Amino acid sequence: MEAFARTISTIDGWLWGPWLLILLFGTHLYLTVRTGFIQKKLGLAIRLSVTKDKGGEGDVSQFGALTTALASTIGTGNIIGVGTAIAVGGPGAVLWMWLTGVFGIATKYSESLIAVKYRVKTEKGTMLGGAMFALERGLKNKKLGRFLGILFAVFAALAAFGIGDGVQSNAVADLVQRNFHIPAWISGLIMMVFTGLVLVGGLKAISKVCESLVPFMAAVYTLGCIICLIMNAQYVGPAFVAIWNAAFAPRALTGGLLGYGLMAAARFGIARGLFSNESGMGSAPIVASAAKTANPVRQALVSMTGTFWDTVVVCLMTGLVIVSYEVAPNGSTGFTNGGALTNEAFSQIPVFGPIILTFGLITFAFSTILGWSYYGEKGAEYLFGSKINIPYRILYTLIVFVGAAIPLGLVWDIADALNALMILPNILAVLLLSNIIVEETKKYSGIHIDDVDTTPIPLMESLRRKNPV
């Protein structure tokens, strides 16, 4: 097992080398420019996310698709992932993670747009889409598109067992065992049972659970972090200073190499930022393809809000709680385990800390398990047809139990490696189809906030607009 773990760690280190960081962050910047800084439409996008497009065709509401996507992104990456980035890359990783979120909004918009544009209707009348169909149907070279589409589908089907399944159950089992001394297998068994009960109902059941769970859990966790920061207010300012300085200055830690701090902060900040918001990975566009929407631009705008909420808001909150603990006189920077660091930081806050952390991690992890089950299943369906759906759900449910008992470091390395492999064909898709993205964006550029009825979904009667976004 040790030899296998070292091999996986080596592969993970190579995949997440400078070349991938430059490719990923460079794509975020490139698409930000190509889309005319689409981030400026964030206000409109948030309003659209809580309205219903009655003229659209799909399997779930836009809000249902968004919350399902948020369910998969707001997970352990927002808690344990942030702690891991800080433990290994230093406080500066928080800034790189945050920047990945800000500029990653454009990539999430772009990948969602082409996913919806090239989606197909199955024989059962359901919508199916994602990078695999965008590559297959969008590229002029059909053989290349099909090959890249197959690669993406394979990586998505496998990655779901890591980022969406094993990592989540493992993180919950570790925290519960650490704080409440409950054996990992019991936590794994309970999560497996609840996961199986939801997955029996397919996407509609997943979407229904996520619509109810995600807004509540995110609001409670964010409010809890704010309370923690208020209680630790005197160290919040120094925490911002530490984050900024460590993001660009060499860090006096392992190895003593000039620039180690900068490279480590960038690598782990961007890697964990991706793990959290998944911008560039092509996962969330799979469920975006099932949304009821009249055109791809509208859903792309809704989808990009997921990156904002996940990383720009929630990850930043977690990072500030942890770093404000590190800079405090009684804080410690000696942790190498992200879960232990996060747990220790929140435990320093009397009463609220442990409760917030435990509630956040359990609900975040469970919702992520549900969201990623759909991504992996659709990747498998692209490869083998709908007959694979039930067997895939059964295997996915069993991995929830298995993942709870695997060493945490190995689970994270496997998940990171599979994430990187998903990125490559997906990034090729958005870059090769960037002209289509620009054309579609310009086509619907006349929309303004005043044209949108912002009545909440249950009370929505009409959507007033001059142009259909």
pLDDT, tens only, 99-139: 999 999 999 999 999 999 999 988 778 888 999 999 999 99
Q: Which of 411, 408, 364, 396 is nearest to 192 (CA)?
A: 396
Instruction: Report pLDDT for 272.
Output: 75
Retrieve residue 166's tokens: 């094993």
3-state DSSP assignment of residue 326:
helix
Q: Which of 74, 4, 106 is nearest to 417 (CA)?
A: 4
Domains defined for the chain, CATH in brackets: 2-445 (1.20.1740.10)
3-state DSSP assignment of residue 468:
coil
- 376 has pLDDT over 70: yes
3-state DSSP assignment of residue 245:
helix
- 145 has pLDDT over 80: yes
How many whole angstroms separate alpha carbon 195 and alpha carbon 191? 6
Helices and strands, number each (H, E), in the chain: 21, 2
- 409 has pLDDT over 80: no
Instruction: Report pLDDT for 106.
Output: 96
Averaged pLDDT for residues 305-315: 90
8 A C-beta contact, residue 221 and residue 316: no
pTM score: 0.84
For residue 437, which amino acid is it?
A: I
> In the structure, what pLDDT confidence band is assigned to residue 430 with cuts at 50, 70 and 90?
very high
How many whole angstroms separate alpha carbon 410 and alpha carbon 126? 37
Residues 6+ apart with CB under 8 A from 248: 92, 262
How many whole angstroms separate alpha carbon 368 and alpha carbon 246? 31
Within 10 A of 400 (CB to CB), how many other CB atoms are there? 31
245-298 per-position pLDDT tens digit: 888 765 544 433 334 467 777 778 887 777 678 888 898 899 888 888 878 998
Retrieve residue 164's tokens: 């969406």
For residue 143, which amino acid is it?
A: K
Distances from the Cα of 196 to the Cαs of 350, 370, 397, in angstroms?
36, 9, 6
> In the structure, what pLDDT confidence band is assigned to residue 410 with cuts at 50, 70 and 90?
confident
56-113 per-position pLDDT tens digit: 666 677 777 777 777 767 766 777 778 888 887 888 889 999 999 999 999 999 999 9
For residue 205, which amino acid is it?
A: A
> In the structure, what pLDDT confidence band is assigned to residue 429 with cuts at 50, 70 and 90?
very high
Instruction: Report pLDDT for 335.
Output: 67
pLDDT above 70 as % of the chain: 87
8 A C-beta contact, residue 304 and residue 71: no
- 186 has pLDDT over 60: yes
8 A C-beta contact, residue 166 and residue 80: no
For residue 323, which amino acid is it?
A: V
> For the chain, what is the mean pLDDT?
82
Averaged pLDDT for residues 376-402: 93
- 147 has pLDDT over 80: yes
Instruction: Report pLDDT for 39.
Output: 95
The pair phi, psi for residue 16, each rounded to 5°, is -95, 30
Instruction: Report pLDDT for 261.
Output: 62
How many whole angstroms separate alpha carbon 152 and alpha carbon 156? 6
How many whole angstroms separate alpha carbon 370 and alpha carbon 285? 16
| DSSP letter (8 states) at residue 57 | B
Instruction: Report pLDDT for 450.
Output: 40
How many whole angstroms separate alpha carbon 393 and alpha carbon 166? 14
**Read out DSSP for 97-137?**
HHHHHHHHHHHHHHHHHHHHHT-EE-TTS-EE-SHHHHHHH
**Read out DSSP for 291-326?**
B-BSSHHHHHHHHHHHHIIIIIIIIHHHHHHHHHHH
Residues 6+ apart with CB under 8 A from 208: 64, 201
Between 21 and 392, the higher pLDDT residue: 392
8 A C-beta contact, residue 288 and residue 65: yes
How many whole angstroms separate alpha carbon 243 and alpha carbon 93? 7
Averaged pLDDT for residues 445-453: 48
- 435 has pLDDT over 90: yes
> In the structure, what pLDDT confidence band is assigned to residue 384 with cuts at 50, 70 and 90?
very high
Instruction: Report pLDDT for 389.
Output: 92
Greatest mean pLDDT among 30-34, 275-279, 460-464 lies in: 30-34
3-state DSSP assignment of residue 293:
strand
Instruction: Report pLDDT for 260.
Output: 43
Between 401 and 254, the higher pLDDT residue: 401
Retrieve residue 2's tokens: 């040790």
